[in-house]
Amino acid sequence: MKPTNDTFLRALLRQPTEYTPIWLMRQAGRYLPEYNATRKRAGSFLALAQSPDLATEVTMQPVDRYPLDAAILFSDILTVPDAMGLGLHFVDGEGPRFARPVRSEADVAALAAPDPEDRLRYVMDAVRSIRGALAGRIPLIGFSGSPWTLACYMVEGGGSDDFRTVKEMLYRRPDLMQRILDVNVRAVTDYLNAQIRAGAQAVMIFDTWGGVLADPAFRAFSLDPMTRVVQGLQREAEGERVPCIVFTKGGGVWLEDLAQTGADAVGVDWTVDLGRARARIGGRCALQGNLDPMALLAGAEPACAEARRILDSFGDPQRGDGTWDGHVFNLGHGISQFTDPEAVAALVETVHAHSRGLRGRGA
């Protein structure tokens, strides 16, 4: 069933829209006082993410506050490797850590894709709960980390500045890395398909660390696994197309390759000029992006000026032949916890209003 406001879905499918839709990466997050209150009540980030009721509550907070065009499931990309038994926990000031990182042949051999309806059932319950809370207002986005990005955390045991452990494995034992990625492809595909069955109306693959790779390594260890995931996705549910977005942070150099994955849209970070990106990929897929999240820290006026510049760069999504190039406005990465909520309100209003004025001007 289509939501009442399906502008986001139509933009992803390069269909006519009255304005450019907007949602924000990490839109349910620490910049919102109501989120911080709920997180405090939960006691920890993991407790918050693993409670379907609380995940629903925080997912709804930004869409109740702002006229956003999509909601995104509140969860974490590391739920999948946690379900593999790696022991996810969070260390204050350091971020996520795995008690049992994957480094030896035995570690790799023991890996298996989890059943998403078993150890990840709480995520599917959250998807179902959020769909009920949205009551058909706007679409719900499900998501996962990419196979490569998950592998980075699984091998490093957490975040990293230089990725030396995972890169050493990549170059020294590419066979082990391929085995990890094969498991992750199966796990991510199963996980996203389970979210679609539970009610996700679009899905996004976050390839946060693809941009740290050299070109041949990116193609072999990031792009190829993502393409396999996209090809394995269920693309229709409830009688409607379920669009897929792929996003590689730092991936502007591979834009054409990302557009060839079979995804309906490619997300780009703030280092990419949106107009040139549109020219490069033509009508192959839609684009999503790409305001620098730090622009919002400067306040509403500078952020909105930058948003208008980005929209002008993309131009009228309608081509001269009557076809459409879809654009979903977003940040180039996650919103900062230091963002003023009022700046976000101004941004959403500006994107809606300014993009309406671009319609009919020609591409």
Bridge partners (DSSP) of residue 91 are 95
What's the whole-number mean pLDDT along residues 171-196? 98
Closest CA to 251 of 146, 177, 326, 156: 146
pLDDT value at residue 321: 86
Report the chain's C-alpha Rg in angstroms. Answer: 19
Least confident of 202-206, 253-257, 317-321: 317-321
- Report the C-alpha dihedral over residues 150, 156, 157, 158, rounded to 10 degrees: -70
Please give the distance of CA 67 from its chain centroid, rounded to a whole number.
19
pLDDT value at residue 362: 55
Please give the distance of CA 92 from its chain centroid, rounded to a whole number.
24
Closest CA to 149 of 221, 94, 100, 219: 221
**Is there a cis peptide before residue 290, judged by omega within 30 degrees of 0?**
yes
Closest CA to 62 of 130, 143, 157: 130
User: What is the C-alpha to C-alpha distance for residues 68 and 27, in angstroms, rounded to an integer?
Assistant: 10
pLDDT value at residue 48: 95
Q: In terms of DSSP bridges, do strands 88-91 and 95-98 run parallel, antiparallel, or are they unpaired?
A: antiparallel
User: What is the C-alpha to C-alpha distance for residues 360 and 147, in angstroms, rounded to an integer?
Assistant: 41
What are the boundaries of each domain within the chain? 1-22+271-282+292-363, 73-267
- Report the C-alpha dihedral over residues 131, 145, 220, 115, rounded to 10 degrees: -70
Residue that has been written with the tokens 């389970």 in this structure:
194
Instruction: Decide: 97 and 157 in contact? Cβ < 8 Å.
Output: yes
Q: Please state, rounded to an integer, the average pLDDT across all residues of the chain.
A: 95
pLDDT of 363 higher than 80: no
Q: Is 16 exposed, middle or buried (0-12, 13-18, 19+ CB in 10 A)?
A: middle
pLDDT of 232 higher than 80: yes
User: What is the C-alpha to C-alpha distance for residues 28 and 120, in angstroms, rounded to an integer?
Assistant: 20
Q: Token pair for residue 291?
A: 């305001």
pLDDT value at residue 69: 98
pLDDT of 361 higher than 80: no
**pLDDT per residue over 235-261, tens digit each?**
999 999 999 999 999 999 999 999 999
pLDDT value at residue 283: 85
Reduce the DSSP state of residue 23 to 3 states and report it: coil
Closest CA to 331 of 272, 278, 268, 263: 268
Instruction: Decide: 184 and 151 in contact? Cβ < 8 Å.
Output: yes
What's the whole-number mean pLDDT along residues 185-190? 98
Closest CA to 23 of 37, 11, 36, 35: 11
**pLDDT per residue over 324-336, tens digit each?**
999 999 999 999 9
Closest CA to 335 of 28, 130, 13: 28
pLDDT value at residue 93: 67
Q: What type of residue sits at position 37?
A: A
Question: Structurally, what CATH architecture does the domain formed by 73-267 represent?
Answer: Alpha-Beta Barrel (3.20)
pLDDT value at residue 90: 83
User: What is the C-alpha to C-alpha distance for residues 111 and 210, in angstroms, rounded to an integer?
Assistant: 22
Confidence of residue 95 (pLDDT cuts 50, 70, 90): confident
What's the whole-number mean pLDDT along residues 96-117? 95
Catalytic residues, by residue number, are 26, 30, 39, 76, 153
Residue 77 has a CB neighbour count (10 Å cut-off) of 18
Confidence of residue 161 (pLDDT cuts 50, 70, 90): confident
Least confident of 79-88, 158-167, 193-202, 245-254: 158-167
Q: What type of residue sits at position 197?
A: R
Confidence of residue 89 (pLDDT cuts 50, 70, 90): confident
pLDDT of 126 higher than 70: yes
pLDDT of 57 higher than 60: yes
What's the whole-number mean pLDDT along residues 145-161? 93
Share of the chain above pLDDT 90, in %: 92
pLDDT of 39 higher than 70: yes
Residue that has been written with the tokens 């996980």 in this structure:
191
pLDDT value at residue 210: 96
